[in-house]
C-alpha cells in the first residue's frame, strides 16, 4: 500500500493509470477542462509537468475511478470495502460480546486500534523547506480556477486540521478554500462541521483558532477524512486502521497541530473570530455555482513548509462523475455495515452517483410487517449525520438489485401508488447549497415505499411476478453453445444500451 502521494502516483504509473503531460498548460480553466473530459470517459490520472506560473507539477484525476479509489485503500475491488466497514461498526457502537467468536472479533479490532496509533516523525519530509510568514506567497501554488464564473482560484483537496479548544481532540476534514491574497484564504464549511464548532469555542474563549492545511497527502488520508466517524475517534487513528499501521505525523512549526509527515506542502495559520471575507461564487457539486458568502471565515497563513520539488494534488466539484463522486461510491460500501448496525432491518443501501452522491438513497429491506418501509426510511435519515441531507429515500424489497436502475424503476412504477406510498417531511435542516429548497437551509424530504404491499396496506391481492420457466431456462443454458451463441456470455448485459452504468 502506498504511504504517500508519490508512492501512489508510482503505483498508478506502473499499472498504466497515469499519464504525464509535458505540454505547457494554464491552471486557469485549461487544466480542469482537460481533466473533466477524462473523468467523463473513465480515463487515467494526469500529472501536468509544465504549469504556467508555477514550478510545481499538478496531479489531478488521481481518484477519478472506483478502481483507483480501491487501490488507495490497498484493495482490488469494492466488495472488499465492507470488511473495513465491519471493523468500524465494532468501534462505532461497541456491544458486550455474547459469544466467544464475538469476543475474538472485538479483540482483533482493539488490537488493530493499538497498531493504528499515529507515530511522530522527528525529521519529516514536509519540513525540508520552511518559508517564514513574510515570504509566504500562495500565488506561487498552481491553484486552479475551474469554471468561468468562479470568483477566484481554489484549494480543494487540502486536509484541514483544527483542534477543539476544550477537549483538544483534533478534527481533520476537506473543505473548499478560496485564494484572497498572497497569504489569506477564505473557507467554506457547514455550521455542523467540527471546525465551525471549534471556531465558536475559540470565540467564546477570546482566542484565535489554529489551522493547518496539508496538501498532497496519501489519498488514503483523504478518504479517512471523508468517512463518518464517532466524535472521539481521530481521523488519524482511523487512517491507521485502514492501512494497518500508524500514520506518521509531524508537529507543525508555528501552531500546536500535527499533519502527515509525508505531506507535499503544509500551510500553517490562524482564524481570528469575526474576521471574514467574501467567498464565491464557485462551482459546486450540486451542478450550479454556489452563492456568494460575505461572512466566510478568513485564514491568515503565517508559515509554509514543503518537501523539495513538491507535487500539488487537486480535484474539483461539479455534476458527476467527479472525483468526490467516485470516493462516495467507495465510502457507500464502508457505510453499509455501520448502517446495518444502526438499522438492522436494512439489507443493503446505495447512494447513486447520479443522485449527487447523497441526495438520493435506495435501501432494501426484508419486509416482514406493514409500515416497515416507512420505518426504515425514517431510521435511515437519523442513522448517520451524513444522511441528514438525503432528500429522497426509495425503499424496495430485498430481491431488488438496488444498484441496477432498471430494477429500481420497475419497483417504483409497479409497486407504488403515490397517494398511499409517498410521504413528505417538511421543514428539515438542509444543505444551503441546494437551490431547490424554498428557504435556504430548510427543506423537505420524500420517502417512497416501493415494496410489495401486505395487508392492511392494501386489500387487493398481489399477483405473482413474471419469471422464466426454470426447466426451460436450464435447457437453454445447456444448449447455449449449440445455438451458435457461445461468444455471447449468458449474463452479458450492455448497460450503455439503456444509458446506465450499473457496475
Catalytic residue among 150, 218, 284, 324: 284
> What beta strand segments (E) does 366-409 contain?
392-397
- Cis omega (within 30 of 0) on the bond before 168? no
Residue 360 CA to residue 392 CA, distance in Å, equals: 5
C-beta of residue 318 within 8 angstroms of C-beta of residue 282: no
Name 364's bridge partners. Answer: 348, 396
Residue 5 CA to residue 126 CA, distance in Å, equals: 12
* Active-site residue flag, 284: yes
Q: How far is CA 112 from the centre of its chain?
A: 23
Q: How far from each other are the two terminal CA atoms of the chain, in whole angstroms?
A: 25
Three-state DSSP at 450 gives strand
Contact residues for 395 (Cβ-Cβ < 8 A; gap 6+): 363, 364, 365, 373, 374, 376, 377, 447, 448, 449, 450, 451
Question: Parallel, antiparallel, or unpaired for β 346-350 and 289-290?
Answer: unpaired
Contact residues for 287 (Cβ-Cβ < 8 A; gap 6+): 318, 319, 356
Question: Considering only CA atoms, which of 328, 109, 346, 333 is closest in space to residue 240?
Answer: 109
Positions marked catalytic: 284
Amino acid at each position: 500500500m502506498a504511504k504517500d502521494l508519490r508512492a501512489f502516483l508510482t503505483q498508478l504509473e506502473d499499472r498504466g493509470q497515469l499519464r504525464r503531460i509535458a505540454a505547457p498548460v494554464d491552471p486557469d480553466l485549461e487544466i480542469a477542462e482537460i481533466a473533466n473530459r477524462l473523468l467523463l470517459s473513465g480515463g487515467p490520472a494526469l500529472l501536468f509537468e509544465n504549469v504556467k506560473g508555477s514550478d510545481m507539477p499538478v496531479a489531478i484525476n488521481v481518484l477519478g475511478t472506483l478502481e483507483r479509489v480501491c487501490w488507495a485503500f490497498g484493495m482490488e475491488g469494492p466488495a472488499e470495502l465492507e470488511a473495513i466497514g465491519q471493523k468500524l461498526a465494532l468501534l462505532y457502537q461497541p456491544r458486550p460480546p455474547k459469544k466467544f467468536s464475538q469476543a475474538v472479533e472485538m479483540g482483533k479490532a482493539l488490537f488493530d486500534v493499538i497498531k493504528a496509533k499515529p507515530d511522530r516523525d522527528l525529521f519529516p519530509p514536509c519540513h525540508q523547506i520552511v518559508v517564514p510568514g513574510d515570504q509566504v506567497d500562495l500565488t506561487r501554488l498552481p491553484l486552479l480556477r475551474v469554471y468561468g464564473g468562479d470568483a477566484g482560484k481554489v484549494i480543494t483537496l487540502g486536509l484541514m486540521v483544527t483542534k477543539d479548544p476544550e477537549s483538544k481532540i483534533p478534527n481533520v476534514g476537506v473543505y473548499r478554500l478560496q485564494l484572497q491574497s498572497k497569504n489569506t484564504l477564505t473557507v467554506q464549511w457547514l455550521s455542523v462541521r467540527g471546525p465551525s464548532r471549534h471556531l465558536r469555542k475559540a470565540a467564546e474563549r477570546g482566542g484565535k483558532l489554529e489551522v493547518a492545511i496539508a496538501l498532497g497527502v496519501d489519498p488514503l488520508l483523504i478518504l479517512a477524512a471523508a468517512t463518518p466517524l464517532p466524535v472521539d475517534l481521530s481521523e488519524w487513528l482511523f487512517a491507521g486502521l485502514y492501512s494497518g499501521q500508524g500514520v506518521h505525523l509531524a508537529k507543525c512549526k508555528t501552531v500546536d497541530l500535527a499533519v502527515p509527515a509525508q505531506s507535499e506542502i503544509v500551510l500553517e495559520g490562524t482564524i481570528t473570530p469575526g474576521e471574514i471575507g467574501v467567498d464565491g461564487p464557485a462551482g459546486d457539486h450540486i451542478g450550479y455555482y454556489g452563492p456568494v458568502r460575505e461572512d466566510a471565515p478568513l485564514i491568515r497563513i503565517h508559515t509554509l513548509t514543503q518537501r523539495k520539488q513538491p507535487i500539488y494534488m487537486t480535484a474539483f466539484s461539479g455534476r458527476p462523475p467527479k472525483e468526490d463522486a467516485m470516493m462516495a461510491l467507495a465510502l457507500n460500501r464502508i457505510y453499509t455495515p455501520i448502517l446495518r448496525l444502526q438499522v438492522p432491518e436494512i439489507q443493503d443501501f446505495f447512494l447513486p452517483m447520479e443522485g449527487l452522491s447523497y441526495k438520493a438513497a435506495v435501501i432494501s429491506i426484508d419486509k416482514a410487517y406493514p409500515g416497515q418501509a416507512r420505518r426504515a426510511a425514517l431510521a435511515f435519515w437519523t442513522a448517520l449525520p451524513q444522511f441528514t441531507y438525503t432528500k429522497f429515500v426509495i425503499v424496495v424489497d430485498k430481491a431488488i438489485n438496488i444498484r441496477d436502475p432498471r430494477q429500481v424503476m420497475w419497483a417504483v412504477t409497479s409497486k407504488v401508488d403515490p397517494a398511499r406510498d409517498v410521504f413528505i417531511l417538511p421543514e428539515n435542516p438542509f444543505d444551503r447549497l441546494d437551490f431547490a429548497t424554498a428557504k435556504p437551509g430548510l427543506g423537505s424530504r420524500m420517502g417512497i415505499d416501493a415494496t410489495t404491499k401486505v395487508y392492511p396496506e392494501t386489500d387487493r391481492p398481489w399477483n405473482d411476478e413474471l419469471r422464466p420457466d426454470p426447466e426451460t431456462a436450464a435447457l437453454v443454458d445447456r444448449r447455449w453453445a449449440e445455438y451458435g451463441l457461445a461468444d455471447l456470455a449468458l449474463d452479458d448485459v450492455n448497460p450503455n444500451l439503456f444509458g446506465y452504468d450499473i457496475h
